[in-house]
């Protein structure tokens, strides 16, 4: 629960993808986008963890909780990659990796 409260800031340590959806025109954009995000996440076997900060149309999809063998996780990664790459609603997606940042 803690991980998915409100707009997401961090995945729970598993695989995660940042996804930018095509924005449907018209009313209730936010609603449509959220619904669509859930559908795309589900299709990719992931969980929609919410919008990324203030960036409209940008969502974080995370791996459903639970421990997996490496092989299974890899299979899941490939499946998710394939679905997100093909999905018509996805404008852009990128698997989240740890950034190396240093204090100056």
The yes or no reply on residue 16 touching other proteins (CB under 8 A) is yes
For residue 95, give the H/E element and its range: strand 90-95
Q: Which of residues 78-97 bind other proteins (CB under 8 A)?
A: 92, 94, 96-97
Q: Which residues contact 99 (CB under 8 A, 6 or more apart)?
A: none
Smallest distance from the beta carbon of 94 to other proteins, in angstroms? 6
Query: For residue 62, how far is the Cα from the chain centroid?
Result: 5
Phi, psi of 102, deg, nearest 5 = -120, 145
Q: Which of residues 22-81 bind other proteins (CB under 8 A)?
A: 51-56, 58, 60
**Which residues contribute to the site for other proteins (CB under 8 A)?**
1-3, 5-11, 13, 16, 18, 20, 51-56, 58, 60, 92, 94, 96-104
């Amino acid at each position: 629960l803690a991980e998915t409260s409100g707009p997401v800031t961090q995945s729970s340590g598993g695989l995660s993808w940042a996804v930018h959806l095509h924005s449907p025109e018209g009313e209730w954009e936010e609603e449509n986008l959220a619904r669509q995000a859930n559908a795309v996440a589900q299709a990719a076997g992931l969980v929609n963890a919410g919008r990324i900060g203030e960036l409209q149309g940008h969502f974080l999809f995370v791996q459903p909780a639970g421990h997996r063998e490496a092989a299974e996780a890899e299979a899941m990664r490939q499946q998710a990659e394939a679905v997100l790459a093909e999905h018509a609603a996805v404008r852009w997606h990128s698997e989240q990796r740890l950034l190396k940042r240093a204090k100056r």
